[in-house]
Amino acid sequence: MIGVTVLGSTGSVGVSTLDVLSRHSEQFRVVALSAHRDSARMAEQCRRYRPLVAVMVDEEAARDLRERLADRPEGPRILAGRAALETVATLPETHYVMAAIVGAAGLPPTLAAARAGKRVLLANKESLVVAGALLMRAIAESGAELLPIDSEHNAIFQCLPPNFGEGLPAVGVERILLTASGGPLREWPIDQLDQVTPEQACAHPTWAMGRKISVDSATMMNKGLEVIEACWLFGTSTERVQVVVHPQSVIHSLVQYQDGSVLAQLGNPDMRTPIAHALGWPLRLDAGVAPLDLFKVGHLDFEEPDLARFPCLGLAFEAARLGGTAPVILNAANEIAVAAFLERRIDLPGIAAVVAETLEAMPREDVSGQDLAFLLDVDQRARVAAEQQVRTRAARR
């Protein structure tokens, strides 16, 4: 039996992962689950999937979970706090770790799983944005496996030859085409974007996602972070990555080869497909996803991204080119700005403004040879600086 720990089990990716695992109970066992504070859903998951360990980051939520499961003396063992995430990511019973915690908070347990030699199913793109060199070094040194879960990167992985680690030019790859839906605001008048509500920004036309990721999709910061992630995953630079707006979200990404060939991975927009691919790789598993009906799809559209509408995408490309701590600052500032938008403290265009102002205010530092503590310190300083920018903008409204 293959033991699986699901970090972020109550989120959309975590729920989809458990659905796939339940279809293959003869092959996989749920060893541990983690969540931030949704103790009600965690209690339901514990009763259904019977993990050995359950982690609630929030202490009060952990107490509530113990009360909800008081009638189950057989377990699970309930742990609390962020340090417990690293504990369950490295359990000897765990072979695969689904890293689905949103934001920089998912970095320490993801890195711990990599250092412990686990198969890391990476749905937490911030781990590579904030600590790409550190994580890739840990993977190489421990012999761990890193398989991408983001539908775009998983699609690219499926379209590349097995030896892509030799370098994309060496295996005949010209460039990676990273698709983006364009989100719910693709056709909004630019001069009315300051009127967008959190509910409208979260109303994604094709994907069901959490609120933070939904806002990132609306600003296309999500795609910018994915550009940085792709550079680390596939050992390339931004010059070989192109973003293509594809509203139908049927082609999940493409790889263009030097001989003129373009390989694409297609499927219905359902996260269970990349999850099942990573769980079963190099074999294929039933994901419970309906087959793609091309006659129903009818047509596929493609557009260039409008950087005037989506300035966050341009900021991400710039941070990737600058390197050093710039991606760390970009990610931290975006998390603060998105939270402020969801709290209605700033408007939607304010997200890009806060990120740009924070990048300008903070010095760019070299990350060569730096450890996790250094990166987390930069992350924290960037959050403080971004919050100051938020307060300044909020005071003007």
Annotated binding residue 143: no
pLDDT of residue 213: 86
Asked whether residue 110 is marked as a ligand-binding residue, the answer is: no
Burial zone of 182 (CB within 10 Å; 0-12 exposed, 13-18 middle, 19+ buried):
buried
Known binding residue 103? Answer is: no
Strand pairing report for 2-7 and 96-99: parallel
pLDDT for 75: 85
Provide the pLDDT confidence category of residue 204 given band limits of 50, 70 and 90.
Answer: confident
Segment 10-34 shows an average pLDDT of 97
181 is in an annotated binding site: yes
Q: Which residue has the tokens 């219905």?
A: 268
Whole-angstrom distance, CA of residue 180 vs CA of residue 157: 17
What integer best gives the mean pLDDT of the chain? 95
Is 246 marked as a binding-site residue? no
Q: Is 396 annotated as a binding residue?
A: no
> What radius of gyration do the chain's Cα atoms show?
20
395 band by pLDDT with thresholds 50, 70 and 90: confident
Q: Is 368 annotated as a binding residue?
A: no
Is 126 annotated as belonging to a binding site? yes
Is 152 annotated as contributing to ligand binding?
yes
The answer, yes or no, to whether residue 210 has pLDDT greater than 80, is: no
274-295 core/surface letters (b: 16 or more CB in 10 A; e: else): bbbbbbbbeeebebebeeeeee
Asked whether residue 167 is marked as a ligand-binding residue, the answer is: no
Asked if residue 151 belongs to a known ligand binding site, the reply is yes
Between CA 255 and CA 24 the distance in angstroms is 31
- Separation of CA 295 from chain center: 31
Q: Is 125 annotated as a binding residue?
A: yes
**pLDDT tens digit sequence for 53-93:** 999 999 999 999 999 999 988 889 999 999 999 999 999 99
Dump pLDDT digits (tens) for 266-306: 999 999 999 999 999 999 999 999 999 999 999 999 999 99
Lowest average pLDDT, out of 55-59, 101-105, 391-395, goes to 101-105
Instruction: Report whether 81 belongs to an annotated binding site.
Output: no
Task: For the chain, count helices (H), then strands (E).
Answer: 16, 11
Distance CA 259, CA 262 (A): 9
Q: Is 331 annotated as a binding residue?
A: no
H/E segment holding residue 29: strand 28-35
Label residue 211 by pLDDT band (50, 70, 90). Answer: confident
Is residue 16 annotated as involved in ligand binding? no
Q: Was 350 annotated as part of a binding site?
A: no
CB 118, CB 104: distance < 8 Å? no
Summarize pLDDT for 235-244 with one digit per residue, the tens: 999 999 999 9
CA pair distance 35, 58, nearest whole angstrom: 8
d(CA 297, CA 316): 31
d(CA 168, CA 235): 7
Going by pLDDT thresholds of 50, 70 and 90, the confidence category of residue 125 is confident
Q: Give the pLDDT of residue 208.
A: 66
- Predicted confidence (pLDDT) per residue in 275-286, tens digit: 999 999 999 999
